[in-house]
């Protein structure tokens, strides 16, 4: 996959493309990255869900909102681990994933991180949990 083609498809507009067909290469790149995440992730609790959250975040950043659910009995991480290459993984998940992707620029309405958390300390405090 040509990175320049992905950049051209996505970066042509102010907030990225909203042409679902033009974003095909972006969708495939996100799934390819997810495949490698699942296959090279450390085997600890929580890393699979982090991979899926990143997948959803990347789709949202590319103006595609996931509006569905993972089908019952499917574990996305095991789909990646048990497939031999990224293309097989993509083929196995896009049948249920792609119909649940809708064009959305919802993220544009969220406040900028730097305006919400002006200092590094406030970012660390927001990401930290502690009991008083």
For 56, the enclosing helix (H) or strand (E) is helix 47-61
* CA distances (Å), origin 84, targets 8, 26, 48, 103: 29, 21, 18, 30
Answer whether residue 55 is part of any domain.
Answer: yes
Domains contained in the chain, number: 1
Global model pTM greater than 0.75: no
Answer whether residue 7 is part of any domain.
Answer: no
Answer whether residue 113 is part of any domain.
Answer: yes
DSSP 67: -
Digit-by-digit pLDDT tens for the chain (132 residues) are: 556 666 665 565 555 666 777 788 888 989 999 999 888 876 666 778 888 998 998 888 888 899 999 999 999 999 999 999 999 999 999 999 999 999 887 777 778 778 888 888 888 888 886 665
Phi-psi domain of 51 (left: phi exceeds 0; alpha: psi -120 through 50; beta: other): alpha
pLDDT, residue 90, reads 94
Q: Print the domain residue range for 40.
A: 30-127
Answer whether residue 11 is part of any domain.
Answer: no
Answer whether residue 6 is part of any domain.
Answer: no
């Amino acid at each position: 996959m040509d990175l320049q083609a992905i950049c051209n498809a996505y970066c042509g507009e102010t907030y990225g493309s909203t042409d679902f067909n033009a974003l095909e290469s972006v969708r495939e790149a996100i799934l390819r990255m997810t495949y490698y995440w699942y296959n090279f992730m450390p085997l600890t609790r929580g890393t699979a869900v982090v991979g899926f959250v990143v997948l959803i975040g990347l789709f949202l950043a590319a103006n595609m909102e996931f509006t569905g659910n993972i089908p019952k009995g499917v574990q996305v991480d095991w789909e990646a681990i048990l497939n031999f290459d990224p293309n097989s993984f993509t083929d196995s998940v896009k049948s249920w994933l792609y119909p649940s992707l809708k064009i959305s620029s919802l993220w544009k309405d969220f406040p900028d991180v730097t305006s919400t958390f002006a200092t590094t300390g406030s970012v660390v405090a927001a990401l930290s949990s502690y009991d008083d």
